[in-house]
Structure 1
Amino acid sequence: MNKILIIATVVLLGVVTFAYAHSQLNQKEGTNKETISQQSNKNKIGKGVVIQMNKDLYLKNVADYRNIKEWKFKGNLPAVIDFYADWCGPCRQVAPLMKELAKEYEGKITIYKVNTDEEKELATAIGIESLPTIMFIPMKGDPQVIVGSADKATFKKAIDQVLLAKPAR
């Protein structure tokens, strides 16, 4: 009986040690992945791709939503932010349009997307209440918003007029 108890204790200690070591490794890998992700996002700005945005990237590249006194855009290019959720049908219709627009306006604007289920604090702070919500952020002036799905022509018109200051056709 004592042998069984000793063997069970050794096995249990081995399992606990393995689980702890594995969790520490995962935490370290997660930190490395986050750093790599942040670096790769930095290299993608204005490069014709849609960039997945989190709260930290928003604070760094867009604005400090904690400062409600004054809007100050931090970006180097005008931006579009697509606030979406994976379960949202209209959001899924907008996603491929954003990818096309990112390619078409490469070097002129940056397009981001924010998963509101994963970034609840950010979405709440900005006041996102309906999905999809598309925010157009010019270099100067206040952001403009389209709530709900729209076609590519509508998004292009908003980009041209709000972000690139081209006259209406």
Structure 2
Amino acid sequence: MNSSESNENVKEASSIEAIEDEDPTVLESSTSETEVDAANTSSSATEGKVRKINTETFIAEIFDYKANPTKWVYKGSKPAIIDFYATWCGPCKRVAPIMDELAEKYKGQVNFYKIDTDQEKELSGSVFGIRSIPSILYIPLDGQPMMSTGLSAKDEYINQIEVNLLKK
């Protein structure tokens, strides 16, 4: 499989434009359980793990869309992946252990985050226009982030990391 074939399900993301998806799954409102937020956890303590973040942490550590509403300016020092999910979403529950494995595999090379779309509606809806979950945002050090939607095989996530984030 060449890189253009593997990129069919990945689209360039814009900080202010909605990403159109082919999957008609629509986010529904639900009461999500309270989870411990990793916003105050140091990045060294979470290296090799998927870190749950909120909008404030996203703005502080990844991208301040309020200060830069028309231009993507990544604040990170390593490529990153953000898993947009919901606690009630079956496919999201299947993606989570894959992301856990990949966070360990790419420890020190790629930062892994997850954002609950029910708790962070402005970020997931207004900023990224997410209408289908799981949605995975691939953030390279340079250039625009790319979004994939739906459940993929672990090998596809690995390919996206290798080709688009680590440029191997």
TMscore range, shorter length: 0.7 to 0.9
Residue 157 of structure 2 aligns with which residue? 155
Structure 2 counterpart of 1:121 = 122
Q: Which residue of 1 aligns with 2:134?
A: 132
Q: State the superposition RMSD in angstroms.
A: 1.5
State whether residues 130 and 147 of structure 1, in contact with CA within 8 Å, keep that contact through their aligned partners in structure 2: yes
Q: How does 1:35-74 map to 2 (within 5 A)?
A: 37-45=38-46, 47-66=47-66, 67-74=68-75
Q: Which residue of 2 aligns with 1:16?
A: none
How far is 1:41 from its partner?
4.2
TM-score (norm 2): 0.74
Instruction: Report the identity percentage.
Output: 40
Decide whether the 8 Å contact of 2:39 with 2:54 is kept in 1: no
Alpha-carbon offset, residue 158 of structure 1 = 0.3
Q: What's the offset of the Cα at 1:161?
A: 0.6
> Which residues of structure 1 form unaligned runs of 5+?
1-32
The secondary structure found in structure 1 opposite 2:64 is: coil
Separation in 2 of the partners of 1:44 and 1:77? 16
Aligned twin of 1:108:
109
Shift of 1:38: 3.1
Residue-by-residue CA offset, 1:48-106 (whole Å, 9 max, x unaligned)? 00000100110011111222221110001100000000111110110000000000000
Distance 1:108 1:160 in 2: 11
What amino acid sits opposite 1:153 in the alignment? Answer: D
The secondary structure found in structure 2 opposite 1:98 is: helix
AA paired with 1:84? Y
SS of match in other structure, 2:112: strand
In structure 2, the residue matched to 1:15 is none
> Counterpart of 2:63 in structure 1: which amino acid?
A
Matched residue of 1:38: which SS? coil
Aligned residues: 131
8 Å CA contact retained: 1:44, 1:51 = no
What stretches of structure 2 of length at least 5 have no aligned partner? 1-35
Q: Select the structure of larger CA radius of gyration.
A: 1
Give the whole-Å Cα distance in 2 for the aligned partners of 1:165 and 1:100.
20
Alignment partners' CA distance in 2, 1:82 and 1:92: 11
Moved segments of 4+, more than 6 Å? none
